[in-house]
Amino acid sequence: MPRGAALALAANIAGAASLGVDADSEWLRHGIRHGFCDFLVNSLNEARRILKNEVRKKQPVSVCLEGDLAATLVEAVERGLQPDLLVVTEKSAAIKTLIQRGAIALDQGPRPETQSEEITWTAESAAALWRPKVDALAAQVLSAEERSRWLKLAPRYLGRTTAGKHYLQMTAAEADQFAALASDAMASGTIGTTITIQRQEQQPHQRPR
């Protein structure tokens, strides 16, 4: 998945209001069709109005603005618009100003080292009935709220991508606890099918999400 689309989906799942800017109108229309863009606009005024409304309602939203990124950033600075987070690949004068005003810049640099594992789980039968119960067990062991949001909201945005199996990153301790809870639930009959859990160790620089 292209980085911009992945960021828009991640922002929605995290409960954020996000604005993406791209000059490629066809790509943005593709975003509307495939659900990673909620609104397509052609002015910063329109984008600002939608973002304000959704923030007021505490609802996640992804707004895509067709236009030049550099010019949009300059206009945002001139109008005093201030994001909380910026995803940047280079530091223009406008970006530096927004950072000086308090925006946090997220770049593609190395992340703090955290040992984690990729955990996937599938249900042998009646997945629509039993997998939500397994998701609830997974949520019990998670230390970070954003990963619980991922469990709850990812199927809504990823659709058929997650129909066959569910995926999450966990620490080894979380994965052990999750596997034990799932085993107990199958043994007691609380979950009436076989749940297969697969674990794959990740590189240390990747943080559980």
Q: In what order do the strands lie in the sheet with 61-66?
A: 17-22, 61-66, 39-41
Lowest mean pLDDT segment, chosen from 21-35, 137-151, 157-171: 157-171
Q: Are strands 166-170 and 195-201 parallel, antiparallel or unpaired?
A: unpaired
Q: What are phi and psi of 27, to 5 degrees?
A: -65, -40
Task: Give the per-residue pLDDT at 10.
Answer: 79
Q: What are 85-111's pLDDT values in tens digits?
A: 888 777 789 999 999 999 988 764 444
Domain residue ranges of the chain, discontinuous segments joined by +: 3-106, 117-201
φ, ψ dihedrals at 189, nearest 5°? 90, 0
Q: Is the pLDDT of residue 185 over 90?
A: yes
CATH level 2 (architecture), domain 3-106: 3-Layer(aba) Sandwich (3.40)
pTM: 0.61
User: Is the model's pLDDT at 42 over the cut of 80?
Assistant: yes
Please compute, for residue 127, the number of CA atoms within 13 A of its CA located in the half-sphere on the CB side. 10
Higher pLDDT, 5 or 120: 120
Nearest-Å Rg of the Cα atoms of the chain is: 20
CATH code given to domain 117-201: 3.30.1390
Distances (CA, A) of 169 to 36, 121, 190: 22, 12, 24
Mean pLDDT over all residues of the chain? 84
